[in-house]
Structures are given as C-alpha cells and as structure tokens.
Structure 1
C-alpha cells in the first residue's frame, strides 16, 4: 500500500515517517510533498492509496489540492491534519469524504488510530472493487455463452445485454482463440484479450470454453470489419503459439450463433494446416465431404494380407485429407481410432510394447488429445510399426505357438492362467504343447506367461496414475506382495523403485 504525506514543514513530515511503524499497516511505500502542487504531481503519477495532507500549505492549500486530487485518484482515502480547528475546514473535509481529521500538534496514538481506520477503509474499498470486477467478468462470460448457445431464449439474452450495456442493433462477429499449450483455466489469456479489445475501443465479451478454446463476441458498433481483422493479428503478442479464427459478420444479436458456427469452421482448418495461425471464415466452394466406410475396409484388407504397406497407405490417406477433402475432424479421429483399435485387437501383445497405451480404449483418449492430422498420423504409424514388427517376429512361429501367445495376451489378468488351461483350449496335451512352444521360442509357456506379465507391468508402472495393487491385478498376480516379489526377482528393483527410475 502507498501513502503520500503532504506538509510544508520538513520537520513534521520526517517526524511522522520516523514515528510510525508503517509496515504493520501494510504500507511499504511513502511519498513526500512540500506543497500542494508537488503533492498533486506525485499523486497523478503514483496513485497513492492514502493521502495524509496538511490543510494550510503554500501554492495550493490542502482543500483545493484534495478537490483536484479526485480527478487523478478518485479512489484514494484522505486524512487531513491542521493546527487550526476551523469550522469551514471541517465542513470541507466532510464534503470531500475525508476519513479523519487530525489536530496539530499530532499525537502519534491519534495518528496511528486514524491510519488504522483509513487502511481498513482502503481494504474494504479494494475488496468491494475486486468483488464487483469478478461479478462483471462472470456476467460477461455468461453473456458470451448465452449469445453463442442455440438453446437460450432471446428474452434472456436481451435482458442481460441491457444490464451489461452490450451494444444492440449493430453488427457483430465471433472470434475464437485456440491455445494447445495454455494453462488449465485460461484466466490470463481471457483477461489479456478482453483488455486488448477494451483498449481498442471495441466492446467484447468472452468466455473460456475449456480444452484451450476461448470465444469472444465483438460488437462492430462504429468499427469496420477490416479493422477487427487487422487488430486480431496483434493478439499473437500475448502468445505466439495460439491459433486465431474470425467468423462471419452478422447483423443482429440473434444471428451471433451463426457467426459462432462459422468461427468454429474457420479454426478447424488449423487441424489440417498448423503451419498457419490465423484463419478467417470463407464460404466453402464445395460441400465438405465425409469419410467413406470403404476406407476402413481398404485398411482391413491390408491389415490381413499386406501389413507392410499400411504405413504408406496411412500417409496417402492423410495427404488426400489435407490437400483435397478436409473431412470434419471428428470423422478423422473416429477413423483412426478404429484403425488403432483394430491393430491392437488383432495383436494383443502390442499393449506390452507401446508407450502410453495401457488398454485398447486408451486409443480414443490419446487421439482426442492430438490437435493436428499430422500428430494423429504419427501416432497411428507408431502403432502400425509395432504391429508390423510383431507380425515379422511371429512369422517364424507355427500357428499353434502364435495361438498360445494370443491366448496369453488376451487372458493375462487371470490369476489361474497356466499351462493346463492353455492346453485344454488348444486341444493338445500339456507336455506336447510345452515342448513345441519351447522348441520355437526357447522358453517354456510358464516362463513366457511370467515374462509377459512383467513386461506389461513395466509399462503400466510408468503411468503414475495407476496404483500398484491395480497393476498387480491387471497383470494377473495373486497379490501386490507376490507381484513385488516376482518383479524384484526379474528386475532387481521393486515396482516403486522402477517407477522412480522411469519417471
């Protein structure tokens, strides 16, 4: 907190500064002025929270100074001091809403009491200002949501527009910002952007939609669309990694929803062209095509007959999407989620080898978190590469051994998974099946089950959100303690030690 002490007597000023423990009141910045004019200059420049001023000063007396002070610091609190208990001065002090009036010679106890009272008044005003500011922000966020939602009645919208002085009967446009790396609630970017438009004399209301997306409704009252487009490109000074979209200009409040739909379409182009960061809506010349089911059929044929060609096929499909078709993002995500799931379902052993994928259902979640088609392509091609390596490694095994491996990967969480059960499923004797398996792999079925469980556990352990007892259960161990014992035997580390080493 900052205080300005104005008095033409140097001794009085210095005495006040030395006699009071200002920091205990939260005051850590003290300004001094020898006359009213100097006090006014300092107040205009530094905006003190409290002004302690003598009434009788040269060049500009305390009352006139206080009257002018309201122009520069309307929120600061006044404390008057004087050696002359004049009724007119008291009336002026009351009129100027002074917090207190202190007689000279000043008693430190009286001054400290007045300071305490004034500080409390400042804190109360600041809290009220913060509360009002928060309320205003929340109202603006609510208005932004109402203006862009299609299910809200117009009466509710018009009522809130009137309450918030949102311009009506003019043109509007929606602006959307997407920040893939932005912090959780986006408060800073929302505030910076609203302040930016306010500084440009453009009325805006904005809201954070989640997942890095912000929506702003701009009033074009006395502002040309060309200026909005030009100013929008300055938003990158807040964060150069953001993507900015501008929707279609509309002529009424009821049409703002249409501008919102078009700005979503404009910003969707960043999915295909992340090298650009500014997108303006333009009406498509051709209707946006959907994804044909034939694509998945083509993929599945290659999966079964020519898996080595899958990577090139995926690359080709993505190139067509980027250069020609631009299908909706959700359809692209759905297609590649299906492709990823199909590869893992075909080769369950992949789960023990892929990073950050612990279950077939994780594919959907991972793809939904990716922001561009390039990222999705790279992610799917990693699965494809692992799939092809798995196919190659299996080529040296007989159909029976591959069947054993697939059965183990599909039933690994069963605690009673063992050689007799697998033999029964394969319709072969345990001894014959185990001998065949060891001839081709160099290990017994029991050893393979243990090794597979440990490899799967290693991968699960690297996800800090999984608890050890859950990992133990997922990998088919009888208890967490038995899991820890087997894991240490195989790795020379406990599961906890292994997690610390990998994270």
Structure 2
C-alpha cells in the first residue's frame, strides 16, 4: 500500500482532505499531516511517503522549498501542490520539481482525487520499473561468471571482435576499457601436489584470491581451460612487480601445497590486440620447465643463434663415468647439464627431455649389465622411461629423478660387492614382495634353494639383523611413501605393505619410528 501525507497551514483544508478523499479505496495509507513545511519535512524523513499533498504558501518553509529538500533524498516521491494563488513563479517552480499537479484553492474534490489517482499510478509505474531493473540486475549478477568467460573467450581468441558486443558485456560488468589503453594477459597455471586438476570450488577460491590481489587495477579475471586468465588494463610498469608476487600471495592465502606458475604476455595497445598478449602468455607457460613452479615469467622472444650443448658429448661422458664407476663425476655431469640447459630456455622441451631420456636408459642398461636389474622385465624399458620423462614438468624434477637413479645404481653396485649374491637376491625379492602378508624365512629359503636355518644364519651374518627385522624395516619405509598420499586410508596403507590389521601396523610403525603413522603424516604435511 502506498503512503501519503498532507501539509497545509489551513486546518479546514487539511482536515477536509483527510475526511473526504477515499484513501482506502485508492489503496493509499494516510501516514501523517503537518501544518508547515518544516514539520512536514520531518514527517517525510520519518515515514518516507510515496505522495505528498502540500500547500505552496506556508509560514517558515514554503511548499516549494520543502519539495526541493524532499527530492534530494526521495527523488521518486510524487508532489501535488495546493494554492489559492495562480502565481507564475510558483507554477514554474512546480514544473521544475516535476510536480504531479497544481490544484487551485478552494479545492475541488474531484480534481484533487484525480490528481491523487494520477500520482498513485505514477508511483506504481515507478515500482514496476524498479522491479524490472532489479530483476535485470539480478539476472546480470547471477551470470557475471558466464559474462566474464564469454568476454575473455572473445578477446583472447581473435582480433575480429564485435565492439558492440564487447562494450555491452563491459557495461554489464561496470568496467570501462578504452581502445587506446595498454593491456597485458596473465595466465596462471594451477595444479595440486599430485598433479591433478582442481575441483570447481577450489578454482573459485583461487579466482577470488587473484581478484583480491589485483583489485586496484582494472581487470577481467576468470578460469579457462583449467587455468586462471586475467586481462589487465594497466598504466605503468609497476604491474610487473605486482605480478611477481602473485604466486606467493596465493600460496599464503589458499594452500601452500599448490603448484602455481604465472605466465604473462607482452604489452599490447587496444582491445583488438589482446589476443596477441594471450597467445604470448600461452607460449610462456612452457617456461615452467626451466623456471619451476612458484614463479612469474614474462614473455620474451627466444634468441635465434643458440648453440646447444652437444648431446653426443654428454652421452659419451656419461658412458665413461659409468664404466669407470665414477659416481661423483656422473652426478656432476647431470648437475652441470641441467644448469647449462636452463640458460638456453628453448621452446622445444621434448628435445631437452630426449637428452635425459637417453642418459637414463644408459644408466639402466649399465646397471642391468652388472646384474642390478633383472634382464627379463615385463615391460618395455625405453617406453617406461620415456613415460616418466613426459610426466616430469620441470628441469629440476628431471635433475632430482636422474640423481636418484644414479645414486640408487651405485648403491646397489656397492651392495653387490659388500654382500653375497644370495643376500642381494633375498633383498631384491623382499623389496618386490613386501606386500605379501605371508612372506617368511621359508618362502625366501625356497627362492634361493637353501634351508631356512642356513639362510637365517647367513643373512644375520652378512646384514647384521634377522630376516624378520629386515622385512619389517622395508615395510615401514615403504609405508612412509604411502602415508604421503592423504587420499589413502590407514587400512589401505597397512594392506599395501603386508599388514591386514591396521592396529598391529600402527604398533610396529611406532616401535620402529617412535611416532604413529598419523603423526608421521601430519609431520610430512608441515
């Protein structure tokens, strides 16, 4: 129901309108009356009426002055003026204020009723327009993520854009981009520690964090193809310093275990050139291989005159170090090769991976020649190693993998020398079959064609511990790796290392390490 108040210094007129106008039939609540403009203004502030019926000439504040004050805070309030004077100045003022009507005194009830009906209709139309606008605003608000995604899709994939469509979407987002502005595109690659793609709510959290980080700069930010993409409208080069810190900011605010890499395209002028900056940013994503996660890299053209280290020379030197059993030199060669290849920063990452693939195959075959690995494997070694290389995303990860392989190979060469072949075979069997709950000294004795008692004595002499103790140690060490995967339940970890009873596994784990599996898992997270 609409609300109205009457303001007139003439009591007779005021009371007459209150009594004779059919307010309820007009669906209007009479919310108050006043005898002067000042008092009327106070009532207006308190009850916020839709319609004000007011005399023009009143002591103190007149109707025109009062109406001007009302319009400052309630621009949609409808004013009907009453006056015993057909004063041109007042009429002009009433028109300026957009008064609904100017009714002369003595008041004609039919005329004033029609004026009130007209004001009522205008109020209802105002409410309908506001409801329509609110409805449209709600629809736009609910679709802002889609509008952003659609706009970024248009601007990043082609220079052939519809200015009308782009401007309409920018209006929806309440953002103003000028065609002579400077733009850069940032693409943020986001992965969790296990290399899996994130859930939608995780992307939303990161997206909100990015928007918060760059909130003082005009931007459109959304997620696209499992990455966060931001079109940034900037003024000066201070944006570069800002983007250099974005990975640390997200890790601090969201999750320190996220693997983040920020690639930034070159600066471009104008909306139609944004796609060029996006293409450069996409190309720069491959640089994560050299710079690693947690960094921000800006696009730059590669040098054309690069002379890469000789692959053949690297392979020859590794063969020499392996044949001479020179572990230190083999390690130095891997570290030096990784350090040098980082400097070249070439786009063809697979070329770099091929160098290390060949080195890894060489290490494997040399170890196999010395009896470290079984010559009859149930998989294609080359294919297996290449698959591993493809899944290593940075040169640092490759370096770690290569050094691990070298260290393991040389450790096992040393182990062969320091212990009998029999003990080596037993350890290898345990290492492959620790998941078997029923593994025992008898099982192992059958493998090497010895009696259990003789094997036990030999093992104790060579290794310095019983077979049972060694099996327990292997199982506990293997379980530590499984505990690093938070997706595995404790029961699954126990079963994976040969314990069907998780309580017994926990007891053994604590006896060996001094802490429970759960405590170890929490310690690893930190």
Q: 2:469 aligns with which of 447, 450, 468?
A: 447
Relative to 1, partners in 2 of residues 1:484 and 1:273: Cα closer, same or farther, differing over 3 Å?
closer
Indicate the residue corresponding to 2:424 in structure 1. 402
Could you say which residue in structure 1 is the equivalent of 2:245? 240
Aligned counterparts of 2:118 and 2:307: Cα–Cα separation in 1: 76
Return 381-390 or 124-133, whichever deviates more. 381-390
Aligned to 1:106: none
User: For the aligned residues, what is the CA RMSD?
Assistant: 5.7
Report the CA distance shift for 1:423/1:41 in structure 2 as closer, same or farther (over 3 A).
farther
2:127 to 94, 99, 124: 99
1:53-68 paired onto structure 2 within 5 Å? 53=77, 55=79
Is the 8 Å Cα contact of residues 434 and 498 (structure 2) preserved in structure 1? yes
SS at the partner of 1:55?
A: strand
Which residue in the other structure is 1:127 paired with? 138
Q: Distance in 2 between matches of 1:93 and 1:230?
A: 50
Whole-Å Cα distance in 2 between the matches of residues 11 and 396 of structure 1? 100
Count of residue correspondences:
401
Q: CA deviation at 1:321?
A: 0.6
> How big is the shift at 1:487?
3.9
1:112-147 Cα deviation digits (max 9, x unpaired) = xxxxx97x7775344123135344223224435654
Partner of 1:24: none
Q: Which runs of 5+ in 2 are unaligned?
A: 1-36, 49-64, 82-89, 100-111, 170-176, 193-201, 248-261, 374-384
Q: Does 1:208 align with 2:210?
A: no
- Structure 1 residue 178 corresponds to structure 2 residue 191: no
User: Are 2:498 and 1:476 equivalent residues in the alignment?
Assistant: yes
Q: Output one character per residue of 1:331-384: Cα deviation in whole Å (capped at 9) or x when no partner.
A: 546766887899899789xxxxxxxxxxx999769843x5xx456546765776
- Show the counterpart of 1:264: 282
CA distance in 1, matches of 2:512, 2:359: 34
Q: Secondary structure at the match of 1:413?
A: coil
Using structure 1 for the length normalisation, give the TM-score.
Answer: 0.57
Change in Cα spacing, 1:141 to 1:252, as seen in structure 2 (3 Å) is: closer
| Residue pair 2:157, 2:275 contacting (<8 A) in 1 also | no
Give the match for residue 137 of structure 1. Answer: 148
Tell me, what secondary structure is at the counterpart of 1:417?
coil
Q: 1:286 to 1:264 in 2, by over 3 A?
A: farther
Q: Considering only CA atoms, is the larger Rg found in Structure 1 or Structure 2?
A: 2
Local SS of the residue matching 2:185: strand
- Is 1:279 matched up with 2:298? yes
The equivalent residue for 2:47 is 16
Whole-angstrom CA distance in 2 between matches of 1:470 and 1:285: 53
Q: Describe the shift of the 1:502–1:92 C-alpha distance in structure 2 as closer, same or farther (beyond 3 A).
A: same
SS at match of 2:224: strand
**Residues 70-122 of structure 1, C-alpha deviations (whole Å, 9 max, x = no match):** xxxxxxxxxxxxxx76628936973994218xxxxxxxxxxxxxxxx97x777
Which of 334, 357, 361 is residue 314 of structure 1 equivalent to? Answer: 334
Match of 1:87 among 110, 115, 120: 115
Q: Tell me: CA distance 1:269–1:485, structure 2 relative to 1, closer, same or farther (3 Å).
A: closer
User: What CA distance in whole angstroms lies between the structure 1 residues aligned with 2:439 and 2:269?
Assistant: 65
CA distance, structure 2, for counterparts of residue 63 and residue 96 of structure 1: 21
Q: Go from structure 1 to structure 2 and tell me whether the alpha carbon gap of 1:491 and 1:11 turns closer, same or farther (over 3 Å shift).
A: same
Could you say if the C-alpha distance between residues 486 and 252 of structure 1 is closer, same or farther in structure 2, counting changes exceeding 3 Å? closer
Measure the CA separation in 2 of the matches of 1:63 and 1:391: 102
Contact preservation (8 Å) 2:186, 2:263: yes
CA deviation after TM superposition for structure 1 residue 53, in Å: 3.8
**Residue 440 of structure 1: how far off its partner (Å):** 1.9
Distance 1:158 1:14, change over 3 A: closer
Task: State the Cα distance separating 1:427 from its structure 2 match.
Answer: 4.0
Superposed CA deviations along residues 1-38 of structure 1, whole A, max 9, x for unmatched, are xxxxxx96353146438xxxxxxxxxxxxxxxx96766
3-state SS in 1 of match to 2:423: helix
Shift in Å at residue 316 of structure 1?
0.5
Q: Give ranges in structure 1 of 5+ residues lacking alignment.
A: 1-6, 18-33, 44-50, 68-83, 101-116, 148-156, 219-227, 349-359
Tell me the alpha carbon deviations over residues 45-74 of structure 1, each in whole angstroms, 9 at most, x when there is no partner: xxxxxx66463799x98996789xxxxxxx
Distance 1:289 1:432, change over 3 A: same
Instruction: Provide Cα deviations, 1:208-250, integer angstroms capped at 9, x if missing partner.
Output: 3435x5365x9xxxxxxxxx89756526546633645335979
Query: So what's the TM-score if we normalise by structure 2?
Result: 0.55
What's the CA shift for 1:390? Answer: 6.9
Q: Post-superposition shift, 1:448? A: 0.8
2:290 and 2:345 in contact (8 A); partners too: no
1:466 to 1:364, Cα distance in 2 relative to 1, 3 A = farther
